[in-house]
Each structure stands twice: as structure tokens, then as C-alpha cells.
Amino acid sequence: MKHKNRLMVFAAAALFVSALAGPRAVYAASLKTITPMSDGYDEIVDVNLPYHAIRVVKDGKYGVINENGELTAPLDFAYIGEFAEGVAAATADGVLWGYIDNTGDFAIPADYDDARPFSDGLAVVEKDGLYGAIDINGDERIKFEFEEIGDAGQGLYPAESGGKWGYINRAGDTALPFLYDGAEVFSEGFAAVEENGLWGIINKAGAAVSDFEFSYAGEFINGLAEVEKDGQTGVVNKYGDVAIPYETGAAETAAQADSENIRVFYVNDMAGIADADDNIIAPAIFEGAAVFDDKYLALSKEGEYGLYEIVDAGGDLSFEKPKNQDLTIAMDGAYIAFDQPPLIVNGRAFAPAKQLCGSIGAELVYDENFTYIKITRGDTEIAFYIGSREAYVNGVPYKLDENVEIINGRTYVPVKFLTENLGITPEWDGDTKTVTLVMPYN
């Protein structure tokens, strides 16, 4: 049996899911939009800010955006792996693999049949049916002579040679002999290995510290490993002693005990976000939700994901209705948060352009003399002339009902004219004085 390389349920995962029993008050944080749902991403894979790399998927293709929601690596890849040490394993055609930077350029050419993330300066790759390892320059460091190499742990790699598994060091030399039918990564001085269809635990000297009695055993994290025995899942310590009894959901219970501060909850199969004290950050109105680094939320409606940053102040979305405003603007179940309130001018809704554009995924540009602004979304460009009723949509002139004006340093634009020309449907509720923007999902 080959190295399984299987994620444990309580590994350092981005997402913690809990069926919370009635989260309570609305949390005070607001959200800053990084990329709205209307951008049409099928998945937000992860957030890796040290490398300014957020992996996204659209129409089955992978790309990379930065923390401003700008696409830095085109959606041209069959797969992009996790970024580590500045690069990510990637394949454009699904056949040959190399390593790209966050702009999508290949830093190491796509010459390999398989490629794993870099760790401590080395990456495991496959070529012509055999595995070895390369450094960040693409130079060979472990010879291509192994049938499989697993993930590095504490300077050792589980590796397969001649149908048996053992451990090699960073030079490819044998550290523990090839005696096993399967092998897991070393962590905290211990690893799970398989003999005759059952798994046990060894130390770095190769000595068994538990009986071979498990149908599977995983990686150790905080002194505990997930194991399977007699069709049930449990958690054991480094010597194979049961820490959590064998029963359905036992390992998930361990995960919950060591959870992060922000988590997903469900109500009637709809997902929301709450903090550790069960205060609601986002209500359960979304088809899908994920949490990254206790700070970023991926939320989906109509099968499309947006990415949002949790902020204490200055966000552009809030799930608590703004107070003391004559007009509110909502989208995707949240309210757009303005630093100056929207206004009703002679029966027409006007709102500050900067925050409105940020929420709907439109680009806003001022000319250097502040005589006009240009707002672009997709193939549509709208120009508003400040202090005037003059507007242009892709060069076609229009006359507005009211002037576009700068009020207290904010440029107010007509909500209905702007959104409708960008393909967004504004719906007016006269009772609550709310404009709800219905986004054009793909």
C-alpha cells in the first residue's frame, strides 16, 4: 500500500464546520470585499498573503488573484497547487507540471509528470515514472529512482523502492530500511507505518512503540493521531493508547476542541459565519462558506463565490442594517457600508461612488482635474461629469435627472442609472427605503 498522504480532520485546515445551536447577536465586524460573488468564481481555494496569492477557480480553470481582487495569474491552468517558498506546482494541460510564481510565469519549467509543494528548499517531483526531488532552481537533489516519495517530515521522506516503504533523508540516502507496506510522514518524532495490512507507530530510530492493530493511522498533530479500527474512527497518542474512544465523529470532536475562532454554522442547510462566542458575523443565508486564517470568508450564492475580509471598521458590507440613514443599499444579503450615507435627491437614489463601486466589483478612476469619473465593469464604461447631468455609456451620451455632485469629499452617483447600465438590477422597497442590487450571476 502506498503512502496515503491523507489530510487528517484536525490538521491545520482553513475551515472549521460546526452545527451551532442558535448563534446569537449580530457581530460588530463588517466585511471588506476582495472579490464579489458577481465575479463568478466557482471556488476560492485558499488565501496565502505572504505570497500575495489567492487561488481561484472559474469554469474549471485555476488562476490567482491578489488581496485587492486583481487577477495576477490568468485562469489558464488545469490545476495550481498550494504556494510555498514563493512558487506553486501547476499544470496548464493537466499532463506536465512545473512551478509558477504568483503572476503565472513558470519559474521552473513544466517538465514533470507530477509535482508537490516545496518544503525546506526541496520539492518532490515525478519524471518518467520515478520520483526524486529538486531545489528551487530546478536542480536535482534526490535522484529519480523511487516508485513514490511522500511528504517531508522532520528531515525524512517516506519513500517506496522495490514495492516496500522506508525513509530517506534530503540527500536521498536510506535513513530507515525499506521494510513496510505503507508509511506516513514523521511528525513530533513518530510516524505510522503498515505491515501485513495493519498500521502501527514507530519512532525515528525505527522502533515500534505501538502494536500493529489499526486499519489506518494518520499524522501526529499536538501529540494525537486519527486512527481507524474495526470500521470506526478514534484518536490515539504517540504510543497507540486511545485518547478519544472509537466512535463515529470522535476525530471531528477532537477537531472542534482545537478549533479556530471563526467558524461556519448551518441553519436549514444554509451556511453562516459565527465567532467563538456564537456571535453572528454573517447570517445563514449562503449556499457555501469557508474561513481562512480567522480573517477571510469565502461566501457563495447561485454557485459563485466571493471573498471578504473581516474588519472592525471601514468595510464595505455589513449584515446589520445601518442606523439613522434615509436610504440603505443591499446586495447578497448584506448592506453596503458607506462612510457617508446614500441620499434621495428629488426621488432619485444617489450613493458615494467609491464604496458602491467596490461592492459591485467595478473599477473607479478619477481624471486628474476631478472633472469626471469613469466606472468600468466588464465591457461597460460609464463616465459621469461632476457638477453636471452629462453621462456617457461606452461613448453614448445620456442626460441624467440630477447632477452628479461632490458632497463632503465624496462623489455621489445615481444608483439606478449606474447599476442598470452595468447589468445589475436595482429593486426598490419603499417601506424600508432600501435598494437591493440583484447581481448578474453567470
Task: Please indicate, yes or no, whether residues 69 and 199 belong to a single structural domain of this protein.
Answer: yes
Task: Please indicate, yes or no, whether residues 215 and 329 belong to a single structural domain of this protein.
Answer: no
Task: Please indicate, yes or no, whether residues 73 and 202 belong to a single structural domain of this protein.
Answer: yes
Of 209, 224, 248, the one marking the end of a domain is 248
CA distances from 371 to 111, 222, 365, 366, 388 (A): 53, 60, 11, 8, 10
Q: What's the rounded mean pLDDT across residues 45-62?
A: 95
Residue 374 inside a domain? The answer is yes
Residue 1 inside a domain? The answer is no
Summary mean pLDDT of the chain: 87
pLDDT tens, position by position, 366-376: 988 889 999 99
Of 207, 228, 248, the one marking the end of a domain is 248
Sheet containing 61-65, strands listed edge to edge, beginning at the edge strand earlier in sequence: 43-48, 53-58, 61-65, 71-77
Residue 274 inside a domain? The answer is no
Q: What's the rounded mean pLDDT across residues 102-123?
A: 97
Task: Please indicate, yes or no, whether residues 209 and 333 belong to a single structural domain of this protein.
Answer: no
Spatial distance between the Cα atoms of 178 and 172, rounded to a whole number of angstroms? 13
Query: Residue 325 is placed in which grid cell?
Result: 440613514
CATH code, domain with 68: 2.130.10.10
Q: What's the rounded mean pLDDT across residues 101-117?
A: 97
Task: Please indicate, yes or no, whether residues 181 and 67 belong to a single structural domain of this protein.
Answer: yes
Of 225, 248, 271, the one marking the end of a domain is 248
Task: Please indicate, yes or no, whether residues 374 and 236 belong to a single structural domain of this protein.
Answer: no
pLDDT tens, position by position, 172-207: 999 999 999 999 999 999 999 999 999 999 999 999
Task: Please indicate, yes or no, whether residues 231 and 342 belong to a single structural domain of this protein.
Answer: no
pLDDT tens, position by position, 233-257: 889 888 888 887 766 544 443 433 3
Residue 272 inside a domain? The answer is no
Confidence grade of residue 31 (pLDDT, cut at 50, 70, 90): confident
CATH code, domain with 343: 3.30.457.10
Q: Domain range spanning residue 96?
A: 45-248
Beta bridge pairs of residue 46: 55
Residue 257 inside a domain? The answer is no
* Whole-number pLDDT of residue 314: 61
- Of 110, 81, 86, which is closest to residue 98 (Cα–Cα)? 110
Task: Please indicate, yes or no, whether residues 221 and 116 belong to a single structural domain of this protein.
Answer: yes
Query: Residue 136 is placed in which grid cell?
Result: 528551487
pTM, rounded to two decimals? 0.77
Nearest-5° Cα angle at 68, 298 to 384: 110
pLDDT tens, position by position, 291-338: 998 889 999 988 899 999 988 766 678 887 888 788 999 988 888 888
Task: Please indicate, yes or no, whether residues 101 and 236 belong to a single structural domain of this protein.
Answer: yes
Asked if residues 110 and 94 have their Cβ atoms less than 8 Å apart, the reply is: no
Residue 116 inside a domain? The answer is yes
Task: For residue 404, give the 3-state DSSP assignment.
Answer: strand
Helix, strand, coil fractions of the chain, as percent rounded to 5 = 5, 55, 40
Residue 208 inside a domain? The answer is yes
Asked if the model's pLDDT at residue 11 lies above 50, the reply is no
Residue 296 inside a domain? The answer is no
* Whole-number pLDDT of residue 7: 34
Confidence grade of residue 8 (pLDDT, cut at 50, 70, 90): very low
> Number of folded domains in the chain?
2
Sheet containing 380-385, strands listed edge to edge, beginning at the edge strand earlier in sequence: 343-345, 348-352, 410-414, 396-407, 388-393, 380-385, 372-377, 363-366
pLDDT > 90: what percent of the chain?
Answer: 62
Task: Please indicate, yes or no, whether residues 218 and 334 belong to a single structural domain of this protein.
Answer: no
